Amino acid sequence: MAYLTLSNISKQFGDTYAVQDFNLDVEKGEFVSFLGPSGCGKTTTLRMIAGFETPTDGAIALGGADITNKPPNQRKMGMIFQSYALFPNMTVAQNIGFGLRVRKDSKADIQERVREMISLVNLEKHAEKYPYQLSGGQQQRVSLARALAIRPDVLLLDEPLSALDAKIRVSLRAQIREIQRKLGITAIFVTHDQEEALSISDRIVVMYDGNVEQVGTPFEIYNFPTTTFVANFVGSLNTAVAEVTDPAKGLLSVNGVQFSSAAKMDGLQKGDNVRIAIRPERFSFASEVRKANVVDCRIENITFLGSVVRVHMLIGNSSFTMDTFNYPSLELPRIGATEQVTCSREAVLLLEEVRANGHEPKL
C-alpha cells in the first residue's frame, strides 16, 4: 500500500476546475515532482495535500488514514514556500524551533534539535541572525531546516528555488535532494522548471490544465512522452504530421519523405494520419554515422547555443531542428546546402492521443 494516496482529487473554483480527477500513489521516501506551466493545478494539488485547500471531490490518505478534511496544523507536513515565509520577528534558531515550541517539546530537546538542523543546512554561524540579515539562499535553507525540525511525515516544496539566482538554485536543489535522501523523507516538489524536475525527482507528474498528462521517471518522461503536451513541455521537440504507409513495418511518410519507427502501430492502418515526434539531439549528420532513417534535408539556419549547435532544416516541407555538440573540429554545412541527416527507428515517436483515422489529427 502506498504511503500517500491521492484518489480522484478534484478542486473547483467557481465554474473552473483547477484540478480534475487527480490520482497518485507516492511511496515512503520517494521524491515526486509536479511539473507544469502556470495555472496547471500543481500548486493547488500541493495545497490540498498540505490542507490549505479542501478538495471538491476525492480523498487524500496518508499511511492508510484519511486526512482529506484534517486541518493543516494537524497534518505534520513540512512546507517550504517560494517566498521563504520566515517569521521576521524571530532569529534563525527561533524560526527553526518554532514548530517544536508550538508542540511544547522540552527546552533541552528543542535546543538539541535546532542545533542539529542548523548544522544540517550549514548555518552554524548565522543562528542568531534575523531573516533580513541573510541572503535568499540562506533564508531558504532556514526554511528547509524549520520544516524538517518537526520531523514531518511529508515534505512539501512549493517552487522553493524560483526566487533564487541560477547558481544558487543548482547548488540548493542538490542540497535538498541530498538531505531528502539522507533522512529518507517523502517529498513532493512543485516546479515549472523541467530541468529542475528532471534532475531532482524519482518520479515526475506532468500536469496541464488541471489534468495529469503523464507520470513517470525522469528518463521515461523525457524519452517516452505519451502526449504532445509532455513531449513539447519537457525538452525541445520536432513534431510533424505523417501518413502511415506500412503499419506492420512501422513505415511512415512525412510529405513524401519516408521514416521508419519502432513505435507500436497496433490498430493503425495504411493511410491513417498520425503525429510523429523526434528530439533534436536524436538527429545527426549521415556523413558521421548512418542509422535506420537517412533523409535529405535543406539547411535553413545554424544557431550557436554554447556547448550545442542548433541546425534548422527542412525535411520535405516540414521544419525540423537538429542539436549537435559543439567542438572545435566540427564541420558545419553552409546555409542553403542539401545534406543527409539520420536518426534511429527508436527516435521516431508516435504521440498516442493524436492518432486519427483518415484525416489530420487535431492538436
Partner 1 sequence: MTVSAAPTQATVKSETARAPVRKNRFWSWLIFVVGALYFLVPLAATFYWSLRAEKDKFGFEAYRRLFADTNFLPSFSESIVNAIAAILISLLIIVPTAYWVTLRLPKLRPVIEFITLLPFVIPAVVLVFGLIRLYSRPPLLLTATYDSSRILLVCVYAALSFPYMFRAVDNGLRAMDVRTLTEAAQSLGASWPTILFRVIFPNLRVALLSGALLTFAIVIGELTIALFMAQHTLGPYMANLTRSKVYEPSAMAIVAFAITWAAMGIIQLIGRGQQGQIAGGH
Among 3, 130, 222, 224, binds partner 1 (CB under 8 A): 130
Interaction between residue 89 and partner 1 (CB under 8 A): yes
Among 3, 59, 81, 355, binds partner 1 (CB under 8 A): 81
Q: Which residue lies nearer to partner 1 by CB, 99 or 250?
A: 99
Question: In the bound complex, what is the minimum distance in angstroms from residue 233's beta carbon to partner 1?
Answer: 27
Write the secondary structure of the chain as one string of H (helix), E (strand) and C (coil): CCCEEEEEEEEEECCEEEEEEEEEEECCCCEEEEECCCCCCHHHHHHHHHCCCCCCEEEEEECCEECCCCCHHHCCEEEECCCCCCCCCCCHHHHHHHHHHHCCCCHHHHHHHHHHHHHHCCCHHHCCCCHHHCCHHHHHHHHHHHHHHCCCCEEEEECCCCCCCHHHHHHHHHHHHHHHHHHCCEEEEEECCHHHHHHHCCEEEEEECCEEEEEECHHHHHHCCCCHHHHHHCCCCEEEEEEEEECCCCEEEECCEEEECCCCCCCCCCCCEEEEEECHHHCEECCCCCCCEEEEEEEEEEEEECCEEEEEEEECCEEEEEEEECCCCCCCCCCCCEEEEEECCCCCEECHHHCECCCCCCC
Question: CA 29, CA 4: separation in Å to the nearest integer?
Answer: 10
Question: CA 55, CA 157: separation in Å to the nearest integer?
Answer: 19
Interaction between residue 106 and partner 1 (CB under 8 A): no
Question: In the bound complex, what is the minimum distance in angstroms from residue 82's beta carbon to partner 1?
Answer: 9
Q: Which residue lies nearer to partner 1 by CB, 73 or 122?
A: 73
Tell me which amino acid residue 65 is: A
Interaction between residue 156 and partner 1 (CB under 8 A): yes
Q: Which residue lies nearer to partner 1 by CB, 129 or 355?
A: 129
Which residue stretch of 125-133, 165-173, 296-304, 328-336 sits at the interface with partner 1 (rule: CB under 8 A)?
A: 125-133
> Within positions 21 to 80, which residues make up the interface with partner 1, using CB under 8 A?
50-52, 71-79
Interaction between residue 132 and partner 1 (CB under 8 A): yes
Q: Which residue lies nearer to partner 1 by CB, 103 or 270?
A: 103
Q: Which residue lies nearer to partner 1 by CB, 130 or 222?
A: 130
Q: Which residue lies nearer to partner 1 by CB, 42 or 279?
A: 42
List the x/- string, 333-352, binding to partner 1 by CB under 8 A. --------------------
Q: Which residue lies nearer to partner 1 by CB, 151 or 290?
A: 151
Among 68, 83, 162, 227, binds partner 1 (CB under 8 A): 83
Size of the site for partner 1 (CB under 8 A): 32
Question: CA 242, CA 253: separation in Å to the nearest integer?
Answer: 5
Interaction between residue 87 and partner 1 (CB under 8 A): yes
Interaction between residue 133 and partner 1 (CB under 8 A): yes
Which residue stretch of 83-91, 205-213, 249-257, 342-350 sits at the interface with partner 1 (rule: CB under 8 A)?
A: 83-91
Q: Which residue lies nearer to partner 1 by CB, 79 or 297?
A: 79
Task: State the cell numbers at 185.
Answer: 523523507
Under the rule (CB under 8 A), what is the footprint of partner 1? 50-52, 71-79, 81, 83, 85-89, 98-99, 102-103, 130-133, 143, 146-147, 150, 156
